[in-house]
A and B are shown apart, each in its own frame.
Chain A
């Protein structure tokens, strides 16, 4: 059974099976796909850790070449948004956060709920300091609206309120202990963007800093859910399980519960 002896070659020339196998044989990724992927990979791994890992045993000859200084393209960032299957789990999307925010702030009056699409955030550079390198990531563009689990579809009663939250250009990451809910929401959205852009380590650090400083208190549940996601994405599975355990204790009826359970169980 050797690889050069192909069944394909023995099939009738005009047979459907042969045509189909040939089509599959010719199937290739689009030209720039590998480049985009490589950019994302260098960001995800980071040059420092990359060098350390590559120095091990049988892989000693496999060194790393990439420079960490790279710019994540908008398309790439968008690609990362819906890694619904990353590490075999569904991810907590920014839409979920937005929905959750809404639900926390919505008035209890029974007025009609409209489905609206958030306007695309204006392109913005997010600088992520990592050792001596800087990664620049534009903000995320929503994906194709025709796909139901993409983009930021949120339920909202007042479109202006939520649109305003997504448009504010800067985030105050230091300072006042008592921040407005809008500021907290912006901060959380920015961390989520970092996470989706592949800068999971940076997102994790910021979330942990926020936990330590007791910030984002109004959105602690969302923040803690994101923290578990960030830990999973940075492959800190033991810590992720521990955080998930705390999360379940703290928020026994959380809507994130099931997602988090799947996330940590898969690992």
Chain B
């Protein structure tokens, strides 16, 4: 395994983790760079006590955390692009729906406390085990479980609320 293999085999994982932990779309590539740059520099300190994936995940969490804290992000207000008047093809329509769902996921995740959000993303989306998450976060397994339970409940509730609210809006629009 060389560093390029490490990079290529984990790039998607790092990218997704950063995206779901609050790094916005246009900054995620740069955040990935920071993760792998740091990984490269810290490689001599990697003792092999955890898997490379877990290790990279820890670095990603730190980078995402720094990103969320940065003043420029807090000040930043993204402006929605104007709606396109061009009719969509079926494929484009699917892409738009996928994008809308991702925006909704991000909006819901943003409402969760960061501890719950992290556990939910790592377990439900990245399929890390409880033990791995406990190692990364430096918390007991029981805490991971309880955070995950709370995160699932909150996610379900928020998704349902948004669904109902969208349904009401649609019904209002048809009247």
Q: Is the CB of B8 within 8 A of A34?
A: yes
Q: Is the CB of B152 within 8 A of A7?
A: yes
5 A-B pairs with C-beta separation under 8 A: A15-B160, A38-B8, A41-B7, A45-B37, A55-B44
Q: Is the CB of B70 within 8 A of A84?
A: yes
Q: Is the CB of A41 within 8 A of B81?
A: no
* Cβ–Cβ < 8 Å partners of B46 in chain A: 57-59
A38 vs B73: C-alpha distance when bound (angstroms)? 25
Among the stretches A63-71, A120-128, A216-224, A238-246, the one at the interface with B is: A63-71
Residue from B30, B76, B155 whose CB has the most chain A CB atoms within 10 Å: B30
Q: Is the CB of B155 within 8 A of A17?
A: yes
What is the size category of the interface that chain B forms with chain A? 35 or more
A interface residues with partner B (beta carbon < 8 Å): 1-4, 6-8, 11, 15-17, 19-21, 23-29, 33-34, 36-38, 40-41, 44-45, 50, 53-59, 61-66, 79-80, 82-90, 146-149, 235, 262, 266
Produce 1/0 per residue, B155-167, CB < 8 A to A.
1100110110000
A27 vs B95: C-alpha distance when bound (angstroms)? 11
Chain B binding site: helix, strand, loop or mixed by DSSP?
Answer: helix
Chain A binding site: helix, strand, loop or mixed by DSSP?
Answer: helix
B interface residues with partner A (beta carbon < 8 Å): 1-8, 11-12, 15-16, 19-20, 23, 26-34, 36-37, 40-41, 43-48, 63, 66-67, 69-73, 76, 78-79, 81, 98, 101-102, 104-105, 108, 123-125, 127-131, 141, 144-145, 148, 152, 155-156, 159-160, 162-163
Q: Is the CB of B124 within 8 A of A45?
A: no
* Cβ–Cβ < 8 Å partners of A40 in chain B: 33
Closest-by-CB residue of A relative to B30 is A83
- Which of B19, B43, B160 touches A16 (beta carbons < 8 Å)? B160
Q: Is the CB of A2 within 8 A of B129?
A: yes
Closest-by-CB residue of B relative to A75 is B29
* Cβ–Cβ < 8 Å partners of A36 in chain B: 29
* Given A57-B47, A63-B3, A65-B4: A88 touches B67 (CB 8 Å cut-off): yes
* Cβ–Cβ < 8 Å partners of B23 in chain A: 85
Q: Is the CB of A27 within 8 A of B11?
A: no
* Given A1-B130, A17-B155, A41-B36: A62 touches B30 (CB 8 Å cut-off): no
Residue from B32, B40, B125 whose CB has the most chain A CB atoms within 10 Å: B40
* Given A29-B12, A62-B3, A62-B43: A90 touches B70 (CB 8 Å cut-off): yes
Q: Is the CB of B72 within 8 A of A90?
A: yes
Q: Is the CB of A27 within 8 A of B16?
A: yes
A7 vs B19: C-alpha distance when bound (angstroms)? 21
Please give the distance in Å from B109's CB to the nearest CB on chain A: 8
Closest-by-CB residue of A relative to B131 is A1
A87 vs B78: C-alpha distance when bound (angstroms)? 21
* Given A16-B162, A28-B12, A62-B3: A1 touches B27 (CB 8 Å cut-off): no
* Cβ–Cβ < 8 Å partners of B155 in chain A: 17
